[in-house]
Amino acid sequence: MRTPRPLAAAIIAALTLLAVSAAARALDGGVLADYYDNTLIWQNQVTHAVGRIWLNRDGQYYVFYNMGPQARPPDINGPFQVQGRVGAYTLREDGGVYQLCLWPAAPRTRIGAEVQHELFAEGACYRFNLHHPGDVWHESNDTEGRDYKLWLVRGR
């Protein structure tokens, strides 16, 4: 027996509302409360590049990188030592495992951190372990499997 179209539309609308509601709860305090108004800092233990990310309650993020000494001094056309981007994020949970999914804002320009596949530089989903301000830990969480040291520090 075929499902009547109005019923199918109502089911799809209800499922969509549940998904949006779950995402809103994740962003509204909940599991990310320790990240709002604080800074997640990391250092690639291979390249020594340092990054910072700010996660906002409204689903927006800001990420900044210090790529270290450059091959030539910066000029009006680069290469700049500090670079960053903005975008939107969501937090997904599957069986107790979280993923932070990043979508860089348009227009999307490719930055050096992305070329080097640094952590959180690419529009992708990253395994995301929850921590509290003051925590320091190590992870291998970029696309290259390199070791990172991470800190969650108070303030911005």
pLDDT block averages, 10 residues each, the chain of length 156? 53 46 52 96 89 96 80 54 86 93 86 81 92 95 84 96
Q: What is the pLDDT of residue 46?
A: 86
pLDDT of amino acid 68: 66
pLDDT of residue 18: 45
Q: How many domains does the chain have?
A: 1
pLDDT at 27: 45
**Tell me, what's the pLDDT at 155?**
96
Which residues make beta-bridge pairs with 52? 41, 64
Could you list the residue range(s) of the whole structural domain that residue 101 is in? 5-154
The three-point CA angle 77-81-85 to 5° equals 85
For residue 11, what pLDDT is reported? 52
- CA angle 85-129-89, nearest 5°? 35
Question: From CA 151, how far away is CA 147, in angstroms rounded?
Answer: 14
Distance CA 139, CA 4 (A): 50
Global pTM reads 0.72
pLDDT at 22 (0 to 100) = 47
Name which of 42, 20, 21 is nearest 153 in CA terms: 42
User: Could you give the 3-state DSSP secondary structure of residue 152?
Assistant: strand
Contact 154, 131 (CB under 8 A): no
The confidence score (pLDDT) of residue 43 equals 92
State the DSSP H helix or E strand holding residue 25, giving kind and residue range, or none if neither: helix 5-27
